[in-house]
């Protein structure tokens, strides 16, 4: 058999498979529409249907990844199914999402990674504004950064939960890759300044020391703002992600210049409703107690005694009392688990104020 004939047969197979995939995707979409009809018909007077279920999506993606035989990686398969689910959900009701902007930030990228490109994403200028938009019902959900693997916690996000009743309904982890980029009219040999967010400059410190030791490093509000600034300048560069380079039509000089190759930022999805168990969940709580010797140990013991795995502990100053502190804890369990209920009841019994910020599926992507 000639190569040309083999190629022709393989192309025919691909065409047949594409037709089957097309039919199955539309069949799934029709099924999603039927789900929407059932939900709408069962509503009581004044009730609003909730179409997006974080726990259900996490279960679907986990099951797909576990059943994946390859050759596509689990991550690629999950991304494909995320977009299919996003498109199907948009047939029921497009999901509206506020994120910490402006356009071109990693938070926008995280929003699209979690909700898919069929969602409607809207940039906000501050973390407070993201919270307000969700609280007011102007959008369905919000996306805010909470911690970076190399630079630590985003304190503004934690502080916002002290004044808000919103719940954490999901999380997304985004591998952060930084690129050095310039405008079309910039000579790479004449760069005298580099713009970026302060955290980004810190994450690329060693690379900049080695490659641009004499260049001024100027911190701005966001990487997207940095990219926008260099559009009209001839002697500057920006450090930002791929999405900013595309948005502002910049040339990437150097890719992946972050000092740590595993540099990752975790984002929280905030909403107005608690999330049901998915089978692999995380819970975030906020605790406050009287300042006394052994107070922190007293807060942690109920979790240790019940074998609950604490995954993160952060401390923030109390907004109501000087030299008092609020503790933020993450642990691997759902708030509906009996061990968790016992631990939280024990804390309330010793006079600790407990605020459950949310139970939500562990990041799948």
The tens digit of pLDDT for each residue in 169-210 reads 999 999 989 999 999 989 999 999 999 998 899 999 999 999
Angle between helices 155-162 and 127-135 (to 10 degrees): 40
Say if 75 falls within a structural domain.
no
What confidence tens digit (pLDDT) does each residue in 198-252 have? 889 999 999 999 999 989 999 998 899 999 999 888 999 999 999 999 999 999 9
pLDDT tops 80 at residue 267:
yes
Q: Domain ends where: 260, 286, 303? A: 260
- Please state, rounded to an integer, the average pLDDT across all residues of the chain: 92
Say if 341 falls within a structural domain.
yes
Band the pLDDT of 152: cuts 50, 70, 90: confident
Q: Which range is least confidently modeled, 13-27, 116-130, 289-303?
A: 289-303
Say if 155 falls within a structural domain.
no
How far apart, in whole angstroms, are the C-alpha atoms of residue 351 and residue 365?
38
Say if 302 falls within a structural domain.
yes
Band the pLDDT of 285: cuts 50, 70, 90: very high
Q: How many domains does the chain have?
A: 3
pLDDT tops 70 at residue 1:
no
Band the pLDDT of 39: cuts 50, 70, 90: confident
Tokens of 112: 């699209």
Say if 62 falls within a structural domain.
no
CB-based contact 359:274 (threshold 8 Å): yes
CB-based contact 117:86 (threshold 8 Å): yes
User: Is there a single domain that holds both residue 356 and residue 282?
Assistant: yes
- Under 8 Å CB-to-CB from 113, ≥6 apart: which residues? 79, 82, 172, 174, 365
Show the CA angle centred on residue 156, arms to residues 154 and 161, nearest 5°: 110
Locate the DSSP E strands across the chain: 96-100, 120-124, 141-148, 152-153, 167-175, 179-182, 193-197, 216-220, 236-240, 251-254, 264-271, 281-288, 310-317, 325-331, 353-361
Q: In the prediction, which pLDDT does 151 show?
A: 75
pLDDT tops 90 at residue 150:
no
Say if 214 falls within a structural domain.
yes
User: Is there a single domain that holds both residue 186 and residue 249?
Assistant: yes
- pTM greater than the 0.85 cutoff: yes
Say if 105 falls within a structural domain.
no
Say if 351 falls within a structural domain.
yes
Q: In the prediction, which pLDDT does 323 show?
A: 65
User: Is there a single domain that holds both residue 256 and residue 281?
Assistant: no
What confidence tens digit (pLDDT) does each residue in 124-147 have? 999 999 999 999 999 999 999 999
User: In this structure, what is the dihedral angle of CA atoms 340, 342, 348, 353, given to the nearest 10 degrees?
Assistant: 0
How far apart, in whole angstroms, are the C-alpha atoms of residue 363 and residue 65?
13
Task: Give the domain extent around 243.
Answer: 179-260
User: Is there a single domain that holds both residue 254 and residue 294?
Assistant: no
What share of the chain in percent tops pLDDT 90? Answer: 74
Q: Domain ends where: 260, 292, 311? A: 260
How far apart, in whole angstroms, are the C-alpha atoms of residue 240 and residue 253?
12
Q: In the prediction, which pLDDT does 66 show?
A: 95
What confidence tens digit (pLDDT) does each residue in 321-349 have? 776 788 999 999 999 999 999 999 999 98
In Å, what is the CA distance from 39 to each residue of 83, 92, 94, 202, 275?
22, 10, 16, 48, 17
How far apart, in whole angstroms, are the C-alpha atoms of residue 361 and residue 283?
9
Q: Which run of H or of E encompasses 25?
A: helix 3-41
Tokens of 80: 């494909």
Residue tagged 């013991």 (tokens): 301
User: Is there a single domain that holds both residue 196 and residue 256?
Assistant: yes
What share of the chain in percent tops pLDDT 70? Answer: 99
User: Is there a single domain that holds both residue 231 and residue 283?
Assistant: no
pLDDT tops 90 at residue 50:
no
Check residues 204 and 4 and name the one with the higher pLDDT.
204
Q: In the prediction, which pLDDT does 3 show?
A: 86
Q: In the prediction, which pLDDT does 44 show?
A: 75
How deeply is 102 buried, as exposed, middle or buried, from its count of CB atoms within 10 A (0-12, 13-18, 19+)?
A: buried
Q: In the prediction, which pLDDT does 149 show?
A: 81
User: Is there a single domain that holds both residue 282 and residue 255?
Assistant: no
pLDDT tops 70 at residue 315:
yes
**Can you give the CATH number for the domain in which 328 is found?**
3.30.70.260
Band the pLDDT of 356: cuts 50, 70, 90: very high
């Amino acid at each position: 058999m000639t190569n040309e004939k083999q190629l022709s047969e393989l192309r025919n197979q691909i065409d047949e498979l594409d037709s089957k995939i097309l039919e199955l995707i539309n069949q799934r979409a029709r099924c999603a529409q039927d789900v929407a009809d059932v939900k709408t018909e069962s509503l009581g007077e004044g009730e609003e249907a909730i179409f997006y279920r974080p726990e259900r999506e996490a279960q679907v993606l986990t099951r797909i990844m576990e059943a994946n035989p390859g050759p596509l990686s689990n991550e690629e398969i999950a991304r494909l199914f995320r977009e299919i689910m996003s498109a199907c959900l948009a047939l029921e009701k497009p999901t509206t999402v506020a994120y910490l902007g402006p356009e071109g930030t990693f938070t926008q990228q995280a929003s699209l990674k979690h909700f898919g490109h069929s969602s409607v994403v809207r940039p906000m200028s501050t973390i407070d504004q993201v919270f307000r938009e969700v609280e007011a019902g102007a959008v369905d959900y919000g996306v805010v950064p909470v911690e970076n693997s190399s630079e630590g916690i985003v304190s503004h996000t934690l502080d916002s939960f002290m004044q808000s009743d919103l719940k954490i309904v999901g999380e997304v982890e985004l591998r952060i890759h930084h690129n050095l980029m310039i405008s079309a009219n910039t000579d790479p040999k004449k760069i005298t300044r580099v713009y970026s967010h302060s955290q980004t400059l810190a994450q690329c410190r060693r690379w900049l020391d080695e490659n641009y030791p004499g260049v001024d490093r100027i911190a701005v509000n966001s990487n997207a703002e940095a990219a926008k600034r260099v559009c009209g300048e001839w002697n500057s560069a920006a450090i930002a992600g791929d999405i900013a380079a595309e948005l502002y039509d910049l040339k990437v000089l150097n890719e992946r210049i972050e000092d740590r190759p595993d540099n990752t930022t975790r984002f929280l999805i905030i909403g107005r409703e608690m999330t049901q168990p998915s089978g692999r969940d995380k819970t975030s709580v906020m605790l406050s107690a009287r300042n006394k010797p052994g107070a922190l140990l007293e807060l942690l013991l109920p979790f240790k005694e019940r074998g609950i795995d604490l995954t993160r502990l952060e401390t923030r100053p109390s907004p109501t009392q000087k030299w008092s502190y609020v503790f933020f804890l993450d642990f691997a369990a759902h708030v509906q688990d009996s061990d968790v209920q016992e631990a939280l009841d024990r804390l309330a019994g010793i006079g600790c104020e407990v605020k459950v910020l949310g139970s939500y599926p562990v990041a799948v992507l």
